[in-house]
Amino acid sequence: MCQRKLRLISSTTNKKTQNSLMGLFAKWDIELISSTQANGAAADGLVVCGEEATMDSVILPDQVQDATANASQGRQLPFLILVFGESDSIPSGLADELHRKYAAHPVEVVRFFLMPSGNRAIIGGEPEGHWVSCLRRLAAREGIISLVCARTEVDEIVWQLDKYLRLKQRFYLHMARRYESGLARLGIVAQALGMDERIGQGWLYQDGLGKRRMKEIERWLQNNMKAVLTQFRPQRVVVCGYYEQIDSLTAWLIEQEPRIQTCTYAVDLPENTNEEKDKTLICRSLPELLHDAELLVIVGADSALEELHLERLTQQMKRPTVIDALSLFPVDEAKLFGITYITYGQNTNDRNENYTGRK
């Protein structure tokens, strides 16, 4: 079962989504082709994903239509419709609707969700289904632990997971506001909570803030950026994070201060990216962007940013001021290097004193 390389057709026309899927499936030895590339060629299935994931977007190829008349022969493997993604891009119940719609066809509909960690998967479908078993084996081969359940249960798991993470994030921000008075250090309290085995240290992981849990964080970032702008007028600002996250932030920043040169370090774009869009430089060279920058805003990070030594910031930035929504660096260490470092739960009195630092 699954001894040969699988070939799946992608239903999405979004190049970014397509490239992301191709990179993921290549690890599983699955060939992903666009619908335009298919040109009537035989394929094992169709991947339904992205914002275009609707009932109307699913069109069975001719090979499946032709096989319907010969289904009684029992030699034809079912055509796979793989509904892949999170709740923000996949309508709840879509997989079950597709299952009912194509019940008379040699089709197997599978709902698939890969956890952000990349090592856990939820597979929705019939336990005895050919493609459910095949996908489980492929996942196991890559060291991915999978759970098989009903298609609708995958939708519920994804929805409840997002709801729980939203609650966790609100709790963390609530603590941060409480400790802005200097009552206690947020990092110490949060770390101590994680020592309780019922909570665990993993609760601190911010997962790049998540692309759908940005509203409260955006408000926090905007409030702190406004505070910085009232203290001084930075000429060059660098915003780091996932492209979809930072796009709206840079637009907001330009609206507040049109004369600011905004640069974005998008951690999910290819390494050789270097372009300009709507007065914003988009680049994947962190040292190049930080040169002469006066404000660094962190929404998401990759290894290059996580491993950056604070001394490098003081050497590269003209006026090192950092607003960090991920709390990547120790507050005390940043202070020692003369960096105005703004993160959750920081004593606002200390923060205001730092604005009068190095220029």
* pLDDT digit string, tens, across residues 252-265: 898 998 888 999 99
The residue-averaged pLDDT of 295-308 equals 89
pLDDT on residue 98 = 94
Structure tokens at 20: 């992301």
Half-sphere exposure of 160 (CA within 13 A, CB side): 6
Highest mean pLDDT among 45-49, 107-111, 269-273 belongs to: 107-111
Q: How far apart are CA 318 and CA 65, in angstroms?
A: 64
**Angle at CA 248, nearest 5°, toward 246 and 250?**
65
pLDDT on residue 214 = 63
Give the residue, 16 or 103, on which the prediction is more confident: 103
Q: Is 3 exposed, middle or buried (0-12, 13-18, 19+ CB in 10 A)?
A: exposed
Q: φ, ψ for residue 291 (rounded to 5)?
A: -60, 120
pLDDT at 142 over 70: yes
Residue type (1 letter), 197:
E
The SS3 call for residue 210 is coil
pLDDT digits (tens, 9 = 90+) for 1-52: 566 678 888 877 666 677 777 777 877 888 888 766 666 667 899 998 876 6
Q: φ, ψ for residue 298 (rounded to 5)?
A: -110, 115
Q: In whole angstroms, how far apart are CA 244 and each of 34, 116, 170, 265, 299?
A: 23, 16, 21, 12, 11
Structure tokens at 54: 């609707």
Which among 238, 212, 246, 223 is positioned nearest to 176, based on CA atoms? 223
